[in-house]
């Protein structure tokens, strides 16, 4: 069975703080893909990153960074120097064994000025 767990329901930080959003996944497949999406209040899911199971290299994109660790089945997302515009719901997703994408329940991030 495939599963994605985002244990943090809500996180509240003050602007300029760093924040890490956790994602733990379960799959028996050796080939799979992991995604992060951002959902601002407007409702649209905005694609942030895709990672395949054979690429454990961490990635940095501006203030965003991702830490993929197969040993712990985790794909965590860190925002450095958070800004108010980062306030949104963030979803981690897993795609394996075909075309079905399983989303976590999301983490709502509040960044206060």
Partner 1 sequence: EAGVVQSPRYKIIEKKQPVAFWCNPISGHNTLYWYRQNLGQGPELLIRYENEEAVDDSQLPKDRFSAERLKGVDSTLKIQPAELGDSAVYLCASSLLARSGETQYFGPGTRLLVL
Which of residues 28, 30, 57, 99 is near partner 1 by CB under 8 A?
Answer: 99
52 touches partner 1 by CB under 8 A: yes
Minimum CB distance to partner 1, residue 113 (Å): 25
Report the alpha-carbon distance of residue 108 to residue 90 in Å, rounded.
6
Which of residues 4, 23, 79, 109 is near partner 1 by CB under 8 A?
Answer: 4
Q: Of 92, 109, 71, nearest to 3 (Cα)?
A: 92
Report the alpha-carbon distance of residue 11 to residue 112 in Å, rounded.
11
Residues in contact with partner 1, shown as a per-residue x/- string from 18 to 37 under the rule CB under 8 A = -------------x-x-x-x
Q: Of 85, 70, 84, 57, nearest to 26 (Cα)?
A: 70
Phi and psi at 6, nearest 5°, equal -115, 95
Q: Are 8 and 21 in contact (CB under 8 A)?
A: yes
11 touches partner 1 by CB under 8 A: no
95 touches partner 1 by CB under 8 A: yes
Residues binding partner 1 (CB under 8 A)? 4, 31, 33, 35, 37, 42-47, 50, 52, 91, 93, 95-96, 98-101, 103-106
């Amino acid at each position: 069975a495939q599963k994605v767990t985002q244990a943090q329901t809500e996180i509240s930080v003050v602007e300029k703080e760093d924040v890490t959003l956790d994602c733990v996944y379960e799959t028996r497949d050796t080939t799979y893909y992991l995604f992060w999406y951002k959902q601002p209040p407007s409702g649209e899911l905005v694609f942030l990153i895709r990672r395949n199971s054979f690429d454990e290299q961490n990635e940095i994109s501006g203030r965003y960074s991702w830490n993929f660790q197969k040993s712990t089945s985790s794909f965590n997302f860190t925002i450095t120097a958070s800004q108010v515009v980062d306030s949104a719901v963030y979803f981690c997703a897993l795609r394996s064994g075909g075309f079905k994408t399983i989303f976590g329940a999301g983490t709502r991030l509040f960044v206060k000025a």
